[in-house]
Structure 1
Amino acid sequence: MTELRLIFYSYGQFYLRHKGLLLLFMIGFSLGSALISAIYGLNLEASKRYSNSSALLENPVTHFIKPQLGEERIAHELWQLLSRQPNLNLEPVLEGRVQLEDRRWLSIRGVDLLKWVKFGNGGSEQLNQSQPYRGRLFDMVFLDPKVIARLGEKAAQQVVKIDGTEYQISPMAGLGHQALMDISLADKLLRANGELSFVEVIELDDANAKSLTVMLAQKARLESANDQAFDTLSGPFFFNLQALAFLGYIVGAFLSFNAIKLAVAARKKLQQQLYVLGCQQRRLTQAVVIELLCLGFISAYLGTLLGVSLANLLVTDVGRVLRSFYQLDRGLVVGFDYSMVLLGFALNTLVLVCFLVSQKTIAPKFQKRALGGLLGISIAGAIALWVNADNKFTALMLCACVLVVFFMITPSILKGVFSYLWPTRSPLLLWMKADSKNQINELLSAVLATLMAMGAAIGMQVMVNSFSTALDSHLQKRLSADLYIRPSVISERMENELTRSDKFEKVGVYWQAQTELLQNTERLPVKLVSFGQSAKYHSHITLLGQLPVSAVHIGPETSGKVARCMVNEPGWRIYGIEVGDIIELQQGAKSMSCQVSSIYYDYGEQSATLLVTTSQIENAKFAYEAFGYSLTLKQHQDIDAAAQQLKDTYGLETSQVSVNKTFKAFAKQLFENTFKVTHALNLFIMMIALFGIWVSFLTLGRQQLQPMAVLQTLGVTRSQLFWSKLLQAGVILMVTTLLAIPLGIMLGWVLLAYVMPIAFGWSMALVLSWPDILGFCLVVLFLALIASALPLIKLIRRNVADSVASL
């Protein structure tokens, strides 16, 4: 132990003299785990969102009691019956929207705040901070500070006015977009008359769940907290984010690898001195391993802190996407968790093991055979997966095989570039050409990290551009009406008046009914959607075969002909509803049947959806929600005049009337929000790769002192030396960039052809935007040259006499 203590003391003194080296080492390890910790943290918080009840008490919610399909709320009589059960721990929740005095809408959630006083935990911390208003707890509105800032001056004064009454505001971080209040106040504002949106059941076991299901028969539904729509729909979203984060970690691992190499190379002389002074080689090895493990753990801890900060920066965009597309029902606030530290430490340890293994000397013959075998296996695996990939894991394995193939061929291509006969007789260029063959191995980790980062970014760019192009075409046809209105009250009289109007050629509706499909002993939630009474009102739908929608595809049951319906692409790809299937849909005790006639594109929707006519929904007596009307103007009608007339006639607000162009822009903006997170992750990955290039050239510079000193003594000027070394770096980075383009296109193709249909249920054509791809490559190449030039400048400025003295 004395020997180890002395060795560690020497290491400590070394780092005190080389603080920059220690900082570089820590940054290299921390950045690698920060990205994956951020995504892991978001996923962890989403999975743990029911560990606290809606009243912010530490009561894990295991089940929900929800209204029957087609109903909006739970009856007050049922809640009275449930609340009298002695073995149930229940928390009632009432949700809705209220209009503020400035005519904006605020989402509210009412819970039993009396439990804050009773149990003295959870939200009671906020209660203690609001002592002046403690007596008015049940008339207080709790809002997230971000929502308060968005509401403007009145909210900043800690007051909000609803229905002519002012209510005190108390800020509470982490509430998300909903205001929290006592359920009695929410009942008053929503005029719910004791009805509830749902009831949270705390820690319900299986035996009690069965008896509760019997009690709720035909009155409400009991759902497990693990079977909520968000958990099913958001799986592909988090899966893709995790895959991208893991890709970022691999880029970070190359950076960490370089940091270890730099630290070990800088300490090589110290290790020799300790050995000469009598330290055993075994003890020196143990000390290095313990040191690297300790630094790896500290770096994982720092990386987790950085990851939590990054996750909370992303959580606003992520939360908006998850609410819009994946039915997230709670706000997310990512907190520190030691499982994130352990994940980062495990990955850092893996990098350390790879480094220690790489230090073992392997005969070139066996090394060549191993690399050749790996290349062959990767090519064979890519071909096999290209034919057979049918799930998310095999699709991502195909991406991994493509990456490995490019990893294998990149060193050979780089060496081949410097092996060809160059059309020059310049001694300096010929020296640079010969020197490059040796430097490629030293720069290989940075080159591969840059290749992966650029390939991933280009692949994501290809996917986003293809999706944007497909979405433009989709919206162009899907949103073909001239005006869209969403009145507060929808009536048959209003529809008849619009239909009889001489301004409109076609008046479509948007109806939606929640139903269930019994599939393999499991109940699959299915949305029924209708735009009108016949195929004419569904002509804006695009079928997979690009055929026009006709009565063959959609229509009610007639003599000798079963009712026809159309399933969306996710319903076919993800949930297995096939063309020709006769399916029976249920809504409580009511049911209807239809035969699936075709499949239609439905970008943005991930749940199973069926298109039917309005008469089919009415004949089945299903409860449905009518959202509004789509209006197609007759020729020569002025759209602005028609919109103004609708506002005047029906008392509509500007926000309730949308013209085609505005509605499309809003829809596209909503979709673009889904890619903000991926763009941020790609930017972070590229920053790590560029940092890795800088570290690699910093490491290489230490090994270049002697050959550069020789050249300077032979008369080569600093300027000539700098430009020749920069040219060397430029050639290597240029070849890497050229290889990244086909890699990115192939990754983009895999994402579009496999990952997107399998994970999200959408298919689309590959679209390449060469100006965007080449522009991105030029920017990255320029930044990479700057990153490589910075260590060279420091090296060139070194005193020639000092360099010669080191020979």
Structure 2
Amino acid sequence: MIEWRLAVITLLAHYRRHPWQLLFLLLGMVLGASLLVGVETINQEARARYAASEDQASRGEGWQIQPHQREGFLDQTLWINLRRSGIDATPVLDMRLVDSQDRPLLVRGVDPLAYVGQLGRPTGSSEARAWVDTRVAASYGWQDGDNLRFREDQTLGPLQLIEDLGPWIHTDIATLSELAQSGTRLSYLNLPALSPSQLDTIRQALPQQARLMSQGESTQFGQLSASFHLNLTALAMMALAVSLFLAFNALRFSLTQRSALMAQLRSLGIGQPALVKAVISELVLVGMIAIPISALAGSQFARAWMPQVQMTLSSLYGFNGLLSVENLLLPLGLATVVILGAIAMVLGSLMLDPRVALSLGFRSRQQRQQTQSLGLLALGLVLLLVVTVGASLVATTGMALTLCGLLLLAGAAMTPQWLQLCCRAVGRFRLRSALGQWALTDLDEQQRTTRVAMIAVMLALAAAVGMRMVVGSFELALEGYLKQRISADLYVRTGGDDHALWQSRLSTLPGITTITPFRHQRASIQGEAGSIASLGDSAEHYRHLPIKVADDDWSSTLFDGGCLVNERTQLMADLSLGQQITIGDTGQPPFSCTLVGVYYDYGNLKAQAFISPLLMQTALGEVPLAGYSLSVSEATRQQVYQSLLEWLSPAQIIQRERIRNLATTMFHQTFAVTTALNILTLLVAAVGLFASLSSVEHHRLGQLATLLALGITRRQLLLAQLAQLGVIALFALILALPLGMALGHLLLDLVNRVAFGWTMPVHYLMEDWPSLLGSLLLALLLSALWPLWRLSKAPVSQLMKGDS
């Protein structure tokens, strides 16, 4: 016990002389851990809300009345009739509006007294006409009392900022109805716990186009969004892995620098077991300091990201629950688990390092460096083989992301041998300059000291290249998809009005070349929740669909009991052309159709099928008309739009460019979180290189002092070391490019297909590579400049003493 205590005190005294090493060790643990803690705090909070919603639904404590049509509305008369029957129904109107800066906003009309009262918060100023979450407001730059401006000089406000209100801007339902000119429409009605007699009363009062359901019954949020949360976790794990290289580097060089001190301790009688326990205690003590810091930083990250994540969950998955970080207990627990796991990984890696093994007295491991490098190369090749074979066997998102992790691990394992081969090959060149020849010859030794940091840089860049491929490919696919799918000039939502009346109205308008009616109904397709729809009674109305695969005569068989399904449905239910498909959960008996084609449907996370109007009418009776899509000549487009405003509100008429811009904006918002995580990972890698160079040069002080004593100027020495670092970084980047391309392929071909049900062409986006690689190399050199400059400025006498 005395030996252990003396060893701990002696080892910790080292950090009084080298506080930077302690700081870098803490940074290595805190940076990645805080990112992972922040992401997992969001994920755990979302899962808890999902579970609460499903539990509420199973107990029947909350009910909703929703329209049968996926994008339909209820009429206010239903709400009035229920209130007259003594049932406390609360109306809600949800609208997606675009402000004057073309930003999509989620606006919810409610009864403000009932809604804000339920939150237990005062309504504040009586002048407030809209309520918004403080973090949402901060992301848009809004202040208390501001007014929101929309197109056509419409305004909403003044605003009142409230904590933890979610992604929706709340306002009085009458205000929103007037703003959107939605008339008497409602999105849904919220109901409290109901008695059996009240349930019977409501069911009898429901119109044909409405249905009663438990809150949370219609959407299994946990299942739908599982892939989204898993992707965030995978990116955060990537950041943690990169940051652990920083922690490993800092502790490795700290122990290497103290090798003489450890030898003295052993010569004084302190045994090897006590010395190893002291090193473990040192790391655990640093971890105990890192835990509360990681918890605090992680909770702040979670608070900052929560509005964006909530916007994504609401827009893509239909989840409208409130996410919040109420206390530090969850982040603290997560930080403890993550930090302890990180300590175990760093310790395990350290014990396999030859330099550290020598410092701790494991002399037999000193000779293993070359064997280790070859062993890691073999491991990397085996992992590549596993990834190649496993790619054809993937069935779940977890398996797909595991293969991505194995691919990155293979790259990390092969990096040491790759850097060694490249540096030795370059070292064989002969230069006339003595300093240049030294720089080339010394490359192999330099890569040994920086290889851990270079592995982190290589992994971060590979992840950046892979994600850029995913985002770019998705963006290009979405652009082409929107041009084909959103092909009509105007989309009109008539709200179930008489078809004959609207056909008569539209036929009188000039320049309309095609009128396509649209009916939409919630349904399940082969057990997958989603919807069915029908367009016109000829193939002309369906040719805008981006067909992936179809029968040669699908345009005729579609009207003979056939159906088209989206790609997600085909992949999730493993469907093939000609197969009979069962459609149910429509409020009518199930019916079947024959699969005649599959179409791309990016952004839709639910099943969908198109059937003919005749089949829909035969199976479901008269389904209310949702609206029309109109192809209009450019010369009369504005005139037709103005004529439609005489019969409909602006909210019921959607112009093609507006819906395309909205879809593109929502796409960028969805990827904002992953882009932020990617940038943070690159920053962590840059900090890791900075820390590595600040620590690694200490054991080369004598060599640098000799060069200075031989007449090499400090400027020459600094440039030579920067050139060495640039060459080694370039070798790491050369390996990162194919690794990132392979990662992008896995993410597009496997993760997207399994998680979301989408496939798309892979675009390498090589035109982006020069700027990406150039900016990263510049960032790496800038991060290395200060420690190398600081070292080059130290007096020769100080360098000879071994302390910079």
Structure 2 counterparts to residues 347-426 of structure 1, below 5 A = 347-358=341-352, 359-360=356-357, 362=365, 363-364=367-368, 367=372, 370-420=375-425, 421-426=428-433
Contact kept? 1:141, 1:180, Cα under 8 Å? yes
Q: Which residue of 2 aligns with 1:633?
A: 632
Q: Which residue of 1 aligns with 2:339?
A: 345
1:107 deviates by 0.8
Structure 2 counterparts to residues 24-103 of structure 1, below 5 A = 24-49=24-49, 65-67=63-65, 70=68, 94-97=91-94
Give per-residue Cα distances to partners, 1:298-339, cap 9 Å, x unaligned.
Answer: 313312322222222222222222111111121322343133
The verdict on how the C-alpha distance between 1:241 and 1:443 changes in structure 2, with shifts beyond 3 A counting, is: same
Tell me how far apart the structure 2 counterparts of residues 589 and 78 of structure 1 sit (CA, whole Å): 25
**577, 580, 583: which is aligned to 1:579?**
577
Contact kept? 2:423, 2:447, Cα under 8 Å? no
For residue 352 of structure 1, what is the amino acid of its counterpart? V
Structure 2 counterparts to residues 758-797 of structure 1, below 5 A = 758-797=754-793
Structure 2 counterparts to residues 169-568 of structure 1, below 5 A = 171-178=161-168, 197-199=189-191, 228-265=219-256, 267-268=258-259, 271=262, 281-335=272-326, 336=328, 337=330, 338-358=332-352, 359-360=356-357, 362=365, 363-364=367-368, 367=372, 370-420=375-425, 421-486=428-493, 490-492=497-499, 493-517=501-525, 523-545=527-549, 551-555=555-559, 561=560, 563-568=561-566
For residue 450 of structure 2, what is the amino acid of its counterpart? L
Tell me how far apart the structure 1 counterparts of residues 640 and 282 of structure 2 sit (CA, whole Å): 75
Q: Which residue of 2 aligns with 1:88?
A: none
Tell me how far apart the structure 2 counterparts of residues 244 and 99 of structure 1 sit (CA, whole Å): 30
Structure 2, unmatched stretches of 5+, are 149-155, 358-363
Give per-residue Cα distances to partners, 1:168-222, cap 9 Å, x unaligned.
Answer: 98753111144779999999x99999997345779xxxxx99x999999999766
Tell me how far apart the structure 1 counterparts of residues 175 and 52 of structure 2 sit (CA, whole Å): 22
1:294 deviates by 2.6
For residue 311 of structure 1, what is the amino acid of its counterpart? A
3-state SS, counterpart of residue 650 of structure 1 = coil
Tell me how far apart the structure 2 counterparts of residues 270 and 429 of structure 1 sit (CA, whole Å): 35
3-state SS, counterpart of residue 525 of structure 1 = strand
Tell me how far apart the structure 1 counterparts of residues 184 and 642 of structure 2 sit (CA, whole Å): 34
The verdict on how the C-alpha distance between 1:450 and 1:433 changes in structure 2, with shifts beyond 3 A counting, is: same
Say which is worse superposed, 725-734 or 393-402, in terms of deviation.
393-402
3-state SS, counterpart of residue 588 of structure 1 = coil
For residue 716 of structure 1, what is the amino acid of its counterpart? I
Q: Which residue of 1 aligns with 2:716?
A: 720
The verdict on how the C-alpha distance between 1:761 and 1:213 changes in structure 2, with shifts beyond 3 A counting, is: farther
Tell me how far apart the structure 1 counterparts of residues 589 and 667 of structure 2 sit (CA, whole Å): 35
1:614 deviates by 3.5
The verdict on how the C-alpha distance between 1:667 and 1:716 changes in structure 2, with shifts beyond 3 A counting, is: same
Tell me how far apart the structure 1 counterparts of residues 320 and 768 of structure 2 sit (CA, whole Å): 37
1:568 deviates by 0.5
Tell me how far apart the structure 1 counterparts of residues 113 and 621 of structure 2 sit (CA, whole Å): 33
Q: Which residue of 2 aligns with 1:558?
A: none
1:31 deviates by 0.4
Contact kept? 1:575, 1:608, Cα under 8 Å? no
User: What is the RMSD computed on CA atoms of the aligned residues?
Assistant: 4.4
Contact kept? 1:141, 1:170, Cα under 8 Å? yes
Tell me how far apart the structure 2 counterparts of residues 312 and 153 of structure 1 sit (CA, whole Å): 18
Tell me how far apart the structure 2 counterparts of residues 197 and 623 of structure 1 sit (CA, whole Å): 24
1:733 deviates by 0.6
Tell me how far apart the structure 2 counterparts of residues 68 and 42 of structure 1 sit (CA, whole Å): 29
For residue 539 of structure 2, what is the amino acid of its counterpart? A
Tell me how far apart the structure 1 counterparts of residues 217 and 497 of structure 2 sit (CA, whole Å): 36
Give per-residue Cα distances to partners, 1:417-459, cap 9 Å, x unaligned.
Answer: 2223314232222222222212222211111111110001001
Tell me how far apart the structure 2 counterparts of residues 177 and 494 of structure 1 sit (CA, whole Å): 36
Structure 1 position 608 matched with structure 2 position 616: no
Say which is worse superposed, 369-378 or 671-680, in terms of deviation.
369-378
1:667 deviates by 1.6
For residue 712 of structure 2, what is the amino acid of its counterpart? V
1:5 deviates by 5.5
Normalised TM-score (structure 2): 0.82
Tell me how far apart the structure 2 counterparts of residues 637 and 538 of structure 1 sit (CA, whole Å): 25
Q: Which residue of 2 aligns with 1:667?
A: 663
The verdict on how the C-alpha distance between 1:332 and 1:195 changes in structure 2, with shifts beyond 3 A counting, is: closer
Tell me how far apart the structure 2 counterparts of residues 99 and 770 of structure 1 sit (CA, whole Å): 36
Identity in percent: 25
3-state SS, counterpart of residue 175 of structure 1 = coil
The verdict on how the C-alpha distance between 1:105 and 1:414 changes in structure 2, with shifts beyond 3 A counting, is: closer
Say which is worse superposed, 43-52 or 449-458, in terms of deviation.
43-52
1:60 deviates by 11
Contact kept? 1:538, 1:549, Cα under 8 Å? no
3-state SS, counterpart of residue 596 of structure 2 = strand
Say which is worse superposed, 299-308 or 655-664, in terms of deviation.
655-664
Structure 1, unmatched stretches of 5+, are 84-90, 117-121, 159-165, 203-207, 556-560
Say which is worse superposed, 468-477 or 577-586, in terms of deviation.
577-586
Aligned length: 758
The verdict on how the C-alpha distance between 1:476 and 1:585 changes in structure 2, with shifts beyond 3 A counting, is: same
1:503 deviates by 1.7
Say which is worse superposed, 446-455 or 217-226, in terms of deviation.
217-226
Contact kept? 1:70, 1:622, Cα under 8 Å? no
1:794 deviates by 0.5
Structure 1 position 742 matched with structure 2 position 738: yes
Tell me how far apart the structure 2 counterparts of residues 193 and 644 of structure 1 sit (CA, whole Å): 22
Structure 1 position 643 matched with structure 2 position 641: yes
Contact kept? 2:519, 2:623, Cα under 8 Å? yes
Normalised TM-score (structure 1): 0.82
Contact kept? 2:496, 2:625, Cα under 8 Å? no
